[in-house]
Structure 1
Amino acid sequence: MTRNSGSNTDDRNPDGTFAPGNPGKPKGSRHRATQAIEAMLEGQQEALTQAAIAKALEGDVTAMRLCLDRIAPARKDAPVSFDLPTIETAEDAANAARAILRAIADGEITPLEAATVMGVVEHFRRTLETTDMEKRITALEAQK
């Protein structure tokens, strides 16, 4: 079986995964159907935009939603504000986790917001831990 891309089934393992030496499509490459649609729309962006605006102004709810989503897209997240102690040690990270739990209990932040903040705290704790280990290793090597 041959594909338009010039590759064949010999480029794949029996389980369908790519064989060694075949990286597959380049990262970010677009599907042929997407490329065809983009080619057809080339040069029509302004006309299509004007048509969508005209439909929206006529009361077409779908066109209105399309236009408004471009003007004011729904926020994916929002800043949260609550007291969080300074984090300089792993113990401080534990105190920050307590503060996050307290903020959930007090209704200051949602559990989803807390999970996001806790993820940031955990990444920072790991950074502190790695930095501390590097310092210790450097000190031990200096003693030799």
Structure 2
Amino acid sequence: MPYMRGLFMATTRTATTRWEGSLFEGSGRVTLDSSALGTYDVSWPARAEEPGGKTSPEELIAAAHSSCFSMALSKQLADAGAPPTSLGTSADVTFQPGEGITGIKITVRGVVPGMSADDFVAAAEAAKEGCPVSQALKGTTITLDAALA
């Protein structure tokens, strides 16, 4: 089932990056243009080693994936007659220099009154497959750890 297709008009969101210098010595700033929520520093060391107060493309993908998955699961649960009280979702995006993104692990814990653990896991699997960010990231392995809280 396409996720929410046909319910809303298409939207486009924009972020820009200004990069200065080489990959290893340079740095950049990512600006969330559409929302105007902020500007975030990025660098190769922050991506491949320790964050040091900066973000990375992988962290931004993790944010996108955890929020998209939560929306998709919320819809799956509501469609099954069991809207969630709460969902706590994290996405761990693994980056290996020289290889790229090697995997994404989604972990979700939900409070869903009246739903069995098996039904929750099935809804979470469907959300993982149907979420638009999961669809965009089909080239990487996405694993799921889902349980009721």
TM-score band (shorter)?
Answer: under 0.3
Larger Rg: 1
Q: TM-score, normalised by structure 1?
A: 0.25
Structure possessing the higher relative contact order (Cα contacts under 8 Å, 6 or more residues apart): 2
Q: TM-score, normalised by structure 2?
A: 0.24
- Greater helix proportion: 1
